[in-house]
Amino acid sequence: MYAREIGQGTAIIVLHGGPDFDHSYLVPDLDRLSDSFRLIYYDQRGRGRSADGVKPEDVTLASDIADLEKVRQYYHLDSVVLLGHSWGAVLALEYALRYPGRVSHMILMNPAPASEADYKQLRNEWLEKRAADMERRKAIAATAAYQEGDPEAVTAYYRTHFKPALARSADYEKLITRMQASFIQQGKAGIIKARAVESRLMTETWALSGYDLLPKLKTVSIPTLVIYGDHDFIPAATAEHITEAIPNARMVTLKDCGHFSYLECPVAVRKQVDAFFAGTKKPARPR
């Protein structure tokens, strides 16, 4: 597995979104935290630089959770801070439910749905408000180039997908440029593999009848910061339901900020992260 470490201080394991992406879209913007924190990024199995020798059928929700545990062990962390963006927030929650004693804090940044019901609400809102965008995505997905994993076609798909997800066009263009570079680096085979991995993970989460982490989260007492943006294309109810479910969670909604808050509103994000740690007991340092 590919990992990247930067900074000093309290260790934070960063969980990227997708789930077909790798960590590259998060940097260098999230690296701003490295002046006070030790950030540990890794590409989840079958994605990015952790794809070599991996078959899509090797990847399951259980293997993703086990891999995160292996990362914790590799870096000799008695307890860990998890920062999950989008899908990464779901992975953080799944891990915390299985290893609550090994997680000191969680930062759930622009979280994806933690239940089938919230995922359906997201889909219904997109169908209602973004019908034209969804038709364009569907048309792109039907092309031979997209199905073969052509980086330009995949970039066009996500250009449409993320158009309403950011508050400002300059940030949107920066994100798309970064993603395009990642798709080119992965190449067709890597893109197709990551897409197959995403499909497998969806069958175990959002597409699974009755999938619902929310009742289980009521047993998790981990201090949690939920960061949401008022221009996010995921309904606010998703973040609200997660916050309500975790007894020791607090949600902040950032103004003029979309789904990529670390990129769009870095000063506000930093302020909230610093306040979060100042207001809670510091986690144990690595052995």
Encoded amino acid at 200, one letter: R
Q: What is the pLDDT of residues 195-240, one digit of tens each?
A: 999 999 999 999 999 999 999 999 999 999 999 999 999 999 999 9
The C-alpha atoms of residue 71 and residue 93 are separated, in whole angstroms, by: 16
Report the alpha-carbon distance of residue 237 to residue 87 in Å, rounded: 16
Q: Please tell me the predicted confidence (pLDDT) of residue 281.
A: 54
In contact, 153 and 143? CB cutoff 8 Å:
yes
Q: DSSP letter at 205?
A: T
What pLDDT does residue 190 have? 97
Please classify residue 270 by burial: count the beta carbons closer than 10 Å to its beta carbon, then call 0-12 exposed, 13-18 middle and 19+ buried. middle
Residue type, position 206, single letter: W
Q: Residue 212 forms beta bridges with which residues? A: 115
Q: Three-state SS for 16?
A: coil
Phi, psi of 167 (to 5 degrees): -80, -30
CATH architecture of 1-287: 3-Layer(aba) Sandwich (3.40)
Bigger pLDDT: 283 or 222? Answer: 222
How does the average pLDDT of the chain come out, rounded?
95
Judge whether residue 284 has pLDDT over 80. no
Task: Please determine, for residue 252, whether its predicted confidence score (pLDDT) is greater than 70.
Answer: yes
Question: Strands across the sheet with 10-15, in order?
Answer: 3-6, 37-42, 10-15, 80-85, 103-109, 224-229, 249-254
CB 264 within 8 A of CB 239: no
DSSP structural state of residue 234? S
Compute the distance between CA of residue 192 and CA of residue 143 in angstroms, rounded to an integer.
Answer: 14
Q: In angstroms, rounded to a whole number, what is the distance separating the alpha carbons of residues 75 and 121?
A: 38
35-90 per-position pLDDT tens digit: 999 999 999 999 999 999 999 999 999 999 999 999 999 999 999 999 999 999 99
pLDDT for res 279: 84
- What is residue 235's DSSP assignment? -
CA angle, 267 as apex, 119 and 181 as ends, to 5°?
A: 60
**Closest of 252, 250, 249, 215 to residue 114, by C-alpha:** 215
| pLDDT tens string 111-141 | 999 999 999 999 999 999 899 999 999 999 9
